[in-house]
Amino acid sequence: MPQGVRVRVSPPALSKSFSNLRSFFLIINNGQIEVSIFVFESFCIMNVEEFIPTKKNKLIENANISCIAPSNIALIKYWGKKNIQIPSNPSISFTLNNCKTTTTITFKKKTFEGLSFRFFLDGISKDSFNLKIENFFKRIICYCPYLEFYNLEINTNNTFPHSSGIASSASGFSALALCVVQFELLLYENISRNYINRKASFLARLGSGSACRSLDGGLVIWGKHKDIKQSSDLLGIKFPHEVHPVFTDYQDTILLVDKTEKQVSSSIGHNLMHNHPFASERFNQANKHLSQLIPIIKSGDLFKFIKIVESEALTLHALMMCSNPYFILMKPNTINIINEIWDFRNSTQIPVCFTLDAGANVHVLYPKSNAPEVNKFIEDNLAKYCQDGQFINDHVGNGARRI
């Protein structure tokens, strides 16, 4: 490590081709001048001024911020994106309650500028997560410039087992983003509650798209849609129209069919939508499904709800099966469960349905009033298809918060 004096040349003093450098150091070392350029590319291509602090912040030496954020399950799926983390179609999800991530960030002021963090999962240092988290910080640094003046120690844990096949990125990035914005609240006065959630959702999206839907509770929409004028490609918003009471405590039992890490990541799947033969039809369909869902959410017509939700789940997997290269994330037991659910629904007329994430696990959705019969059905008929007989009972929850 060279010792010496560091002189920072700010980007505007550099030629245009260097304009995305964050730091440029001259290091005088034993009389020799070394030039060290820290290529710290800023991803801040979209100048969303609303989220760039302009005022001078207070000086804080240390802070400890803890936040808890839930996962969410999409009813209309986001599959396909444009640069950077802009969805190709709008999506809507139920915020969950029990599948959650708790994150604590310890901020310690430091003397030199530059990003510096350490990440721990369940108290153990996890370098394998560093690249994803570093990319996240690179994307958000222009909205949170104060981060460059602190060492961050990030401690995180999930309520669901890490190797359960449940993606922790939605709850993980929303908890992380909320910690950052709560820290901003200490540095800048007069930040509104509305701004905190909007900015946290905006930042969370830059870590994992679906994470922006985990800040608010109930039903959350992300992506511009013609019938919802407040909707945005940049952040999730609470469903602004009337919601039938049946959806306020909807149940979601997650059947753990396959607890291993999936072979194809969501990022690869999203990218395969660029050359997908059915991409534009799919994006039209998602928009149409959302238009159809708005009055259903108001009326509580569960059989119409089921038609859209199951169609979305199967469309997501059908898109995977006909992308290039094609792939299958469902397992034989995923199909077994779907057939059991259809048989049970036909014979009982109980409005239970399924949805799927980008994986083999099945989310069983049903109204709270039907929980006794559906829970018995799950125990008797579906648990046998789960790895180690494991499933997680969850329901619609209230979103992320500071603890």
**Amino acid, single-letter form, for residue 325:** P
Provide the minimum distance between the beta carbon of 356 and ligand PMV in the complex, in angstroms, as a whole number: 8
Given CA atoms 387, 379, 172, 358 in this order, what sign does their dihedral have? Answer: positive
What's the token pair of residue 223? Answer: 């992506």
Query: Which residue's CB is nearer to ligand PMV, number 184 or number 312?
Result: 312
Contact call for residue 220 and ligand PMV (CB under 6 A): no
Euclidean distance between CA atoms 215 and 213, whole angstroms: 6
The only residue of 156, 182, 208, 253 in contact with ligand PMV, by rule CB under 6 A: 208
The answer to whether 23 touches 38, Cβ cutoff 8 Å, is: yes
What's the token pair of residue 202? Answer: 């905006």
The piece of 207-215, 236-244, 272-280, 294-302 that touches ligand PMV (CB under 6 A) is 207-215
The answer to whether 253 touches 232, Cβ cutoff 8 Å, is: no
Euclidean distance between CA atoms 333 and 381, whole angstroms: 12
Contact call for residue 176 and ligand PMV (CB under 6 A): no
Name which of residues 340 to 359 contact ligand PMV (CB under 6 A): 357-358
| E strands, 256-312, in order | none
The only residue of 24, 78, 107, 377 in contact with ligand PMV, by rule CB under 6 A: 78
H-run or E-run covering 32? strand 32-38
Q: How far apart, in Å, are the Cα atoms of 61 and each of 103, 145, 146, 149, 151?
A: 20, 16, 12, 10, 11
Query: Which residue's CB is nearer to ligand PMV, number 77 or number 198?
Result: 77
Contact call for residue 169 and ligand PMV (CB under 6 A): yes
The only residue of 68, 74, 140, 364 in contact with ligand PMV, by rule CB under 6 A: 74
Provide the minimum distance between the beta carbon of 113 and ligand PMV in the complex, in angstroms, as a whole number: 30
Strand order across the 32-38 sheet = 5-8, 23-29, 32-38
The piece of 13-21, 48-56, 205-213, 317-325 that touches ligand PMV (CB under 6 A) is 205-213
The answer to whether 220 touches 204, Cβ cutoff 8 Å, is: no
Binding mask 298-317 for ligand PMV (x = CB under 6 A): ------------------x-
Q: What is the largest CA-CA distance in the chain?
A: 85
Euclidean distance between CA atoms 219 and 74, whole angstroms: 9
Binding mask 248-287 for ligand PMV (x = CB under 6 A): ------------------x---------------------
Contact call for residue 51 and ligand PMV (CB under 6 A): no
Contact call for residue 91 and ligand PMV (CB under 6 A): yes
Provide the minimum distance between the beta carbon of 215 and ligand PMV in the complex, in angstroms, as a whole number: 14
Residues that bind ligand PMV (CB under 6 A): 74, 77-79, 91, 167, 169, 208-210, 266, 316, 357-358
